[in-house]
Chain A
């Protein structure tokens, strides 16, 4: 194929390309799939993840929705061409087609557009991700976070509150809207400390202390699970996180021999 140097020629050819009947059909199909994808993105992923119990989780659900929306038109291009080709360009019959398709070898504008757009989307995702990462990282460290020591045991979590007189518990109690920092370790194998509805997770490694932080901003009982296969009863290594008003938290502390 010859590359046309004249800009006018190029423009004419481009216009003629977009006015082709099959191109218009594919564009229509693309628009339909994109709309379906965007609707799916808005309603499904965040809904499946459930109501968030922290700003971190809200950020994550927004990310899931945004990425799904951004991915919709891209996936739609591939699926629209695939679907349309099966409907309109299909050869029917048992043997091979008698004639070949057009010998389209390459198109520099198409390739350039594809690579530019996908690179642009990639940068967009990266910027979004870095921004979200920054805001999530600052969530628990502002103010004066309460420290909770988390220990992974095969196959239980145990919690201790060093600043509140060393209260120990098999379930996690947190005051609402108070930044909390978890210092996580393990006495045996690798576990992973996960508070599902708060969108935080960090591995519990033997001989190391890892940190994660969150501001729980919703009262209720949430799920703590182990997210790293840790042996026989990994599936049962679950407990609850209770987010309660400060007064109730203080009551719980004193009932368990601690102080506010």
Chain B
């Protein structure tokens, strides 16, 4: 009797404790889940330096606030934080040519590392800025950057960094919109095998925080995200 009640009590304690951990974990996991991924649209194949590859397109934007991204129309907890949209999680096909279009609506200033003013890792080392092909822009008028990088491990390395030049503050919002006419940046890169990658903005746009890298820069769902290739 004594032994049985001890065993029962001990088992109940372990189960109750495990439940607490499981429930806490479930709540944290749920509340920190990434927004639904945006999957690149595949359309046909293209001839590249690496042979004939599948072609996929991805269209995203960078905004001066978070009213248009994954935080809903009210902007969520921090409506005034800069953000990427429509989401920050992207799925890309493996071994494919990916063409990305970024509409950049935000103003900006100087990069803290001019390294990121150069286009890197794209096909031809270039991008088009409002239709004009460039490989380098002035580091003094940058709105954001889209910098995709990888943990080396056994997955293929992938590094793509493009500067997104700023829209001058003086430009007024277009009619019927909260935002001015954007800078349109287009570039392509070639994915390797399946892997997990991250991207983030390298323009310090977390105003008010040390090195301007706090707030939206250090919070998931604004100026950083994941890219799954596979």
Q: Measuring CB to CB, which residues of chain A are less than 8 angstroms from any residue of chain B?
A: 151, 153-156, 158, 160, 168, 170-171, 187-189, 206, 221, 223, 231-233, 235-236, 238-240
Residues of chain B from 192 to 222 with CB closer than 8 A to chain A in the complex: 198, 200, 202, 204, 210-211, 213, 217-220
Contact among A154, A171, A240 with B213 in the assembled complex (CB-CB below 8 Å): A154
Q: Do B213 and A170 touch across chains, with their CB atoms under 8 A apart?
A: no
Instruction: List A contacts of B218 (CB < 8 A).
Output: 154, 231-232
Q: Do B115 and A158 touch across chains, with their CB atoms under 8 A apart?
A: yes
Instruction: List B contacts of A155 (CB < 8 A).
Output: 198, 200
Instruction: List B contacts of A160 (CB < 8 A).
Output: 115
Q: Is B157 an interface residue (CB 8 A)?
A: yes
Q: Do A236 and B198 touch across chains, with their CB atoms under 8 A apart?
A: yes
Instruction: List A contacts of B149 (CB < 8 A).
Output: 156, 170, 236, 239
Instruction: List B contacts of A154 (CB < 8 A).
Output: 200, 211, 213, 217-218
Q: Measuring CB to CB, which residues of chain B are less than 8 angstroms from any residue of chain A?
A: 112-113, 115, 118, 120-121, 147, 149-152, 157, 159, 161, 198, 200, 202, 204, 210-211, 213, 217-220, 224
Asked whether A187 and B147 contact (CB < 8 A) given A156-B202, A168-B118, A240-B157, the answer is no
Give Cα distance in the complex from A238 to B202, angstroms.
16
Besides A188-B210, A232-B217, A236-B149, 11 other CB < 8 A contacts? A154-B200, A155-B200, A158-B115, A170-B149, A188-B112, A188-B213, A206-B211, A223-B152, A231-B213, A232-B219, A239-B149
Give Cα distance in the complex from A239 to B153, angstroms.
9
Instruction: List B contacts of A189 (CB < 8 A).
Output: 210-211, 213
Instruction: List B contacts of A187 (CB < 8 A).
Output: 112-113, 211
Give Cα distance in the complex from A235 to B112, angstroms.
22
Q: Do A151 and B115 touch across chains, with their CB atoms under 8 A apart?
A: yes
Q: Do A238 and B198 touch across chains, with their CB atoms under 8 A apart?
A: no
Give Cα distance in the complex from A226 to B152, angstroms.
13
Cβ contacts A to B, 14 pairs, < 8 Å: A151-B113, A153-B113, A154-B200, A154-B213, A154-B217, A158-B113, A160-B115, A168-B118, A170-B159, A187-B113, A232-B218, A232-B219, A233-B224, A239-B152
Asked whether A168 and B115 contact (CB < 8 A) given A154-B213, A154-B217, the answer is yes
Query: Which of B113, B159, B202, B220 lies at the interface centre, i.e. has the most chain A CB atoms within 10 A of its CB?
Result: B113
Q: Do A236 and B147 touch across chains, with their CB atoms under 8 A apart?
A: no
Instruction: List A contacts of B213 (CB < 8 A).
Output: 154, 188-189, 231
